[in-house]
Structure 1
């Protein structure tokens, strides 16, 4: 309370300051697609929040993702997880309806491991085997491809799915090589690939296999955008020879460190996905 005397001088003055916080405070994103914010309101009041988001992609101009959610809550701390597409730039707004206040945050969703196709593992004696797989269209097809690797069976062999030797410029004579690269942008759901037909696929020569040698055929499916890359591998086929033991040792810093021993039996296929894995055959 303030009192002003007849002389025009303040006789008593009291000033109280109250901090006024915005109705939505500390808006943040965690786990790539979940929102969290603090609600500044009277404890018993129920507030309705409208959450809207829009997404676009630098590599796919025709892509647009839009969504809207409503949340009614008395809580002081709110969380909401959205279904966002990977490798997408999002702008997300949260509006407190009664207070008519909006807070906005932006995020770029991460690149996940590419989805694995259904591979039909087979063993062949012919030098021009026909390999089969089944896949489904994916929103990341524009930045994804399949790479077919040929590995001559020569004692103990190392195959690093995240960085095969034939992709390493410092390797002058890698034992494995890429015989084909198949872009997924225009690929169908059923893919049949003839190994060693002497054609070019994605700039790689699908050279005929040498007589008198045994081979493993590995399919590497990779998604890459800017400096980020994720890959998975699957043992697709074996050309001649008897069964071999596939020893797998994981050196992934992003996942775990460990070892697994797998044996190729009958028509089973072996697949692995990681940022950094090495395999010995």
Structure 2
């Protein structure tokens, strides 16, 4: 019999909670390991989560901090698990297509070179970690590619070396087995009457597929080199000789080589002819050019050589132009020296070598203006000389840039701008003042000009100033009528209310030559 109230107490006992009934389908219900008793839900291997509400797939290939499958492998994730495979060129140690690393399986290199003929005929295999490559054996060359090559990836292959037809040399025969492979040899023998003056007589087929060219030079046996009168031999061997005419002689056109022909005879066309020297009837034209009558050595080819030296004050200029000159040619030397009496420090000295086959040679020189030149022409072989002189003229002097300046002054002012040149020591400016009354005629080139020294006798045109160019810089201002003396001329004052023509003339004087150029402007003067 139960005690009073026992039925009610049984009704109040708590209901026991079943943890295992709440576990996720991908979880297991395990007894707790902490000694507290009871059970807990844990996700199965290959899943992660709280064991009750979710257990998701674990990607072992991504979550691991290292390559879970090991070296030379590829990891493949599956639902709740994973598996491993070896990379191309490697094989698993368990000889299975797939494996799990915890069974001790690893991937080792495949030695493809164990496969017979994997690189093809003439190929040599070299194993590498995870792959292999091919190269050609000695006696073979790669085709359609370069070495190293891969027969499965590239179109390249090895082909036996073939040097083709061996070279042919004049006046020789070949002794050959018709073999064109690497290492094959061809022997050369000179024809009857010839001998090899080269250093080799064997041609070899090399690894690059080409015949090594020997130095085979079959020359006829011609004996001693023939003598050419009035010449000397400067070089020779068994098949060729070079001749040179002696001093006082020249080669009028024959070949200066003697060649041993295939018939065993020397071929010689050179002969030496005595030189006929002379420089006659020298003539100067165009101020800078010379013409004369040469000797009778016609038909002779000529080259050129020019050496130039110039001295102008402290400035030194050196220019040199050279060309190859045949030592057998007839050569002339020209020395010309130029001086200026108005410029004592000036000196133009040059030397020129040249040749000519013309009966009347001509040469033009780059001479400077307003200079006296002495020209000496010498035949280099005979050392005979002829001297002549050339006097170059003065070119028309440059006109300066002239501008009228309106300044705060009752007198007109001219502004002159010019460029200096080497003729300045013999040139000057002349300023003419001419009242405009009726028709004015003024010959700028006339050397006769009126003089005026006294203001009280100012009638008609007059020279107001004469200024040496050597005393003028690049520019200057000149005021008409400033009552100053310029040279020996008086710059007289202008009369009020008159029109004037102002002429600026540049004059250069050297000997009897006096070229002039002028600049004219009109000016009306009012007080």
Q: So what's the TM-score if we normalise by structure 2?
A: 0.38
The CA distance in 1 between the partners of 2:292 and 2:382, in whole Å, is 15
Number of residue pairs matched by the alignment:
219
Bigger radius of gyration: 2
- Cα gap change, 1:22 to 1:43, in 2 (>3 Å): closer
SS of residue in 1 equivalent to 2:425 = helix
TM-superposed deviation, 1:148 = 0.5
1:272 is matched with: none
Kindly provide the CA deviation profile for residues 12-42 of structure 1, in whole angstroms up to 9, marking residues without a partner as x: xxxxxxxx96422222211212111222142
Indicate the RMSD between aligned Cα atoms, in angstroms: 2.8
Q: Is the 8 A contact 1:180 1:206 kept in 2?
A: yes
- The answer (yes or no) to whether the contact 1:127–1:209 under 8 Å persists in 2 is no
Picking from 337, 340, 343, the partner of 1:57 is 340
Mapping of 1:27-38 within 5 angstroms? Answer: 27-38=282-293
Structure 1 Cα separation of the partners of residues 367 and 451 of structure 2: 34
On the 8 A contact 2:451/2:463 being kept in 1, the answer is no
Q: Is 1:142–2:438 an aligned residue pair? A: no
| Cα distance in 2, alignment partners of residues 78 and 121 from structure 1 | 54
Unpaired runs of at least 5, structure 2: 1-274, 302-329
Q: Tell me how far apart the structure 2 counterparts of residues 103 and 28 of structure 1 sit (CA, whole Å).
A: 12
2:350 is the alignment partner of 1:67: yes
Match of 1:13 in 2: none
The runs of 5 or more residues in structure 1 that have no matched partner are 1-19, 242-281
1:266 is matched with none
Q: Deviations over 1:142-184 (max 9, x none)?
A: 2211000111111201101122764389xx9862111111101
Alpha-carbon offset, residue 187 of structure 1: 1.5
Decide which of 463, 473, 483 is 1:188's aligned counterpart: 473
Matches within 5 A, 1:77-92: 77-92=360-375
Please state whether the residue corresponding to 1:103 is helix, strand or coil.
strand
Instruction: Choose from 479, 482, 485 the match for 1:197.
Output: 482
CA displacement, residues 73-119 of structure 1 (integer Å, 9 cap, x when unaligned): 22222211222223322110122223332221113223333222223
Contact between 1:198 and 1:206, CA under 8 Å: does it hold in 2?
A: yes
Higher-strand-fraction structure = 1
Structure 1 CA distance for aligned equivalents of residues 398 and 382 of structure 2: 44
1:25 aligns with 2:310: no
The answer for the alignment partner of 2:413 in structure 1 is: 130
Query: CA contact under 8 A between 2:509 and 2:515: conserved in structure 1?
Result: yes
Question: Which one of the candidate residues 505, 509, 516 is aligned to 1:220?
Answer: 505
Q: Residue 442 of structure 2 is aligned with which of 154, 159, 177?
A: 159
Q: Which whole-Å CA distance do the structure 1 matches of 2:463 and 2:342 have between them?
A: 26
Greater RCO (CA < 8 Å, at least 6 residues apart): 1
What's the CA shift for 1:121?
6.0
* Greater shift in the superposed pair: 142-151 or 226-235: 226-235
Q: Give distance in 2, aligned partners of 1:97 and 1:41.
A: 16
Residue 122 of structure 1 and its aligned partner are, at CA, apart by: 7.2
Alignment of 1:35-50 (within 5 A): 35-46=290-301, 47-50=330-333
Aligned-pair distance for 1:188?
0.8
- Are 2:175 and 1:175 aligned? no
Is 1:240 the equivalent of 2:495?
A: no
TM-score w.r.t. the length of structure 1 is 0.69
Q: Is the 8 A contact 1:35 1:79 kept in 2?
A: yes
